[in-house]
């Protein structure tokens, strides 16, 4: 932060669904990363140069209300919030306004937060943006700065403690995948597979799924974000399963593609092995120093060659392609990696070199609509100074390992 600056972070909204119902509350990721507090109506104020040390870090909470607690459950007391956040000064939301005004008057710059995830597509005005408008209207002569640019740098590189929590989410996800393989059979519906996943997550004390699980059998696998999960898993089909557990606010993100009947056909195995080759090739490139943009270009060149070998592209297809429209895009139409952490698509650079400590996915896919088949293989990778560490290395990944486990579990 620049000298004589104050930074203010606000929680997410409680979002209404229908009638008097609310969607499950999800805390603002930056506020959670800074405080560990998941309660609604929370604020954080950081003012490192405040003349009074007790106001250099302030956590603002909704005051516990006996009647509301009878309806909605217990709210944090000050001492509990101090223990969770490590912040020693806690004040109540209904008494913060005058204090905040005085603090802002002492500051020259105001850092406000916003959602600067490159993948953001919703135009819904969230509480962050309403707070920005209200603050600028009330204090028009201050200099305003973006907190998101600072948080993007801080959150992109994980501490060893963060990786420990991610490993726990991955362990829950790994055990869930084994359970799914054990129970998979022709005639199951995709939503039954989803139910197995949800049950396994909760029984292992995960918060729940990190995102809407994708259970795409047969041709459904060619839809990248297929979430209907309502079709029958048929004998002879593959099922692409993209799911992960959330634990301690951090996420796992696994994709495996398995045969519904436990046995890959010759063609399915050929395509699966080609995808696994791309997965391993991409993993070998993903090291500190490379940029996501350069990495994708190199993986794309390899995909052009691999797709020729399995009969999807011809030499002329590759020769006549352009950098803006590469040949492999016909069968692989998404990025290969994204940052992972508190958000499944976490904050991190695309044009700048990757750094040690970052955690990313590796998830190439091959989608052949004319064959009604899609394959994707995804692991989570921790970049270190000594190379990358595959956090999912112990989860079955080869066609042989998957077939052997499915056969053994049904014996």
pLDDT in tens, 296-351: 999 999 999 999 999 999 999 999 999 899 999 999 999 999 999 999 999 888 88
Listed in sequence order, the residues at least 6 apart from 185 whose beta carbon sits closer than 8 Å to its beta carbon are 233, 260, 261
List the catalytic residue out of 13, 128, 246, 253.
Answer: 253
Task: Look at residue 206 and tell me whether its pLDDT is greater than 80.
Answer: yes
Q: Is 408 in the active site?
A: no
Long-range contacts from 193-198, C-beta under 8 angstroms, 24+ separation: 193/229, 193/233, 193/239, 193/241, 194/229, 197/243
Residue that has been written with the tokens 């913060």 in this structure: 96
CATH hierarchy code of domain 160-409 = 3.90.230.10
pLDDT given at position 24: 92
List the catalytic residue out of 226, 338, 343, 346.
Answer: 338
Decide if 5-156 and 160-409 have a common fold: no
CATH hierarchy code of domain 5-156 = 3.40.350.10
- Model confidence at 245, in pLDDT bands (50, 70, 90)? very high
H-run or E-run covering 364:
none
pLDDT given at position 84: 97
Task: Look at residue 134 and tell me whether its pLDDT is greater than 90.
Answer: yes
pLDDT given at position 326: 96
Residue that has been written with the tokens 């420990």 in this structure: 164
Q: Is 376 in the active site?
A: yes
The H-assigned helical ranges of 63-159 are: 66-72, 78-85, 96-106, 127-138, 147-156
Cβ pair 356, 288 in contact under 8 A? yes
pLDDT given at position 350: 83
pLDDT given at position 119: 78
d(CA 42, CA 349): 28
List the catalytic residue out of 196, 346, 378, 403.
Answer: 378
pLDDT given at position 310: 98
Q: Is 343 in the active site?
A: no
pLDDT tens track for 210-219: 999 999 999 9
List the catalytic residue out of 242, 246, 304, 403.
Answer: 242
Q: Is 378 in the active site?
A: yes
Average pLDDT, the chain: 96
List the catalytic residue out of 345, 355, 390, 405.
Answer: 345
pLDDT tens track for 38-96: 999 999 999 999 999 999 999 999 999 998 899 889 999 999 999 999 999 999 999 99
CA neighbor of 360 nearest in space, from 394, 322, 390: 390
Task: Look at residue 122 and tell me whether its pLDDT is greater than 80.
Answer: no
Q: Is 302 in the active site?
A: no
Q: Is 296 in the active site?
A: no
CA neighbor of 258 nearest in space, from 201, 215, 229: 215
pLDDT given at position 112: 98
List the catalytic residue out of 63, 146, 301, 334.
Answer: 334
Indicate the pairing of strand 89-92 with strand 57-61.
parallel
User: What is the DSSP annotation of 240-274?
Assistant: EEEE-EEETTEE--EEEEEETTS---HHHHHHHHH
Q: Is 253 in the active site?
A: yes
Give the 3-state secondary structure of residue 144.
strand
Q: Average pLDDT in the 92-112 region?
A: 97
List the catalytic residue out of 13, 219, 246, 363.
Answer: 363
pLDDT given at position 193: 98
List the catalytic residue out of 246, 272, 376, 403.
Answer: 376
- Model confidence at 124, in pLDDT bands (50, 70, 90)? confident
List the catalytic residue out of 247, 272, 328, 367.
Answer: 367
Residues 295, 297, 301, 307, CA torsion sign? positive
Q: Is 237 in the active site?
A: no
Where do the domains of the chain lie?
A: 5-156, 160-409
Task: Look at residue 410 and tell me whether its pLDDT is greater than 80.
Answer: no
List the catalytic residue out of 146, 225, 267, 301.
Answer: 225
Q: Is 334 in the active site?
A: yes
Task: Look at residue 121 and tell me whether its pLDDT is greater than 90.
Answer: no
pLDDT given at position 120: 78
Q: Which residues of 287-323 are buried (b: 16+ CB within 10 A; e: fewer)?
A: bbeeebeebbeebbebbbebbbebebbeeebbeebee
pLDDT given at position 409: 84
d(CA 121, CA 124): 9
Q: Average pLDDT in the 201-218 region?
A: 97
Task: Look at residue 284 and tell me whether its pLDDT is greater than 80.
Answer: yes
Q: Average pLDDT in the 134-159 region?
A: 96
User: What is the DSSP annotation of 4-39?
Assistant: TEEEEEEPPPPPB-STT-BPPP---HHHHHHH----
């Amino acid at each position: 932060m620049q000298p004589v600056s104050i930074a203010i972070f606000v929680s997410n909204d409680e979002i209404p669904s229908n009638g008097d119902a609310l969607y499950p509350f999800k805390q603002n990721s930056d506020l959670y990363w800074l405080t560990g507090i998941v309660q609604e109506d929370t604020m954080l104020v950081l003012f490192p140069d405040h003349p009074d040390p007790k106001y250099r870090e302030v956590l603002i909470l909704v005051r516990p209300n006996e009647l509301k607690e009878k309806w909605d459950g217990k709210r944090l007391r000050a001492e509990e919030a101090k223990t969770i956040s490590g912040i020693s000064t806690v004040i109540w939301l209904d008494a913060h306004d005058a204090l905040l005004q005085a603090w802002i008057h002492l500051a020259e710059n105001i850092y406000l937060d916003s959602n600067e995830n490159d993948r953001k597509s919703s135009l819904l005005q969230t509480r962050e943006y309403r707070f920005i408008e209200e603050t600028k209207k009330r204090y028009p002569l201050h200099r305003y700065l973006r907190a998101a640019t600072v948080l993007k740098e801080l959150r992109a590189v994980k501490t060893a403690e963060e990786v420990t929590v991610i490993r726990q989410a991955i362990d829950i996800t790994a055990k869930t995948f084994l359970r799914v393989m054990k129970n998979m059979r022709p005639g199951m519906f995709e939503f039954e597979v989803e139910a197995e996943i949800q049950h396994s997550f909760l029984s292992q004390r995960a918060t729940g799924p990190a995102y809407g699980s994708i259970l795409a059998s047969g041709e459904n696998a060619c839809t990248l974000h297929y979430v209907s999960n309502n079709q029958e898993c048929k004998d002879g089909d593959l099922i692409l399963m993209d799911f992960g557990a959330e634990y301690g606010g951090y996420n796992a993100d696994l994709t495996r593609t398995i045969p519904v009947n436990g046995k890959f056909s010759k063609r399915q195995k050929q395509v699966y092995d080609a995808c696994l080759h791309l997965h391993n090739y991409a993993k070998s490139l993903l090291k500190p120093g490379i940029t996501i943009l350069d990495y994708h270009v190199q993986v794309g060149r390899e995909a052009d060659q691999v797709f020729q070998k399995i009969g999807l592209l011809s030499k002329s297809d590759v020769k006549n392609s352009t950098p803006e429209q590469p040949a492999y895009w016909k069968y692989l139409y998404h990025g290969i990696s994204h940052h992972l952490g508190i958000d499944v698509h976490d904050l991190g650079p695309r044009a700048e070199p990757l750094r040690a400590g970052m955690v990313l996915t590796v998830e190439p896919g091959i989608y052949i609509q004319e064959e009604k088949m899609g394959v994707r293989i995804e692991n989570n990778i921790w970049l270190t100074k000594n190379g990358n560490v595959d956090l999912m290395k112990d989860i079955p990944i080869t066609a042989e390992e998957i077939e052997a486990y499915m056969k053994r579990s049904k014996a």
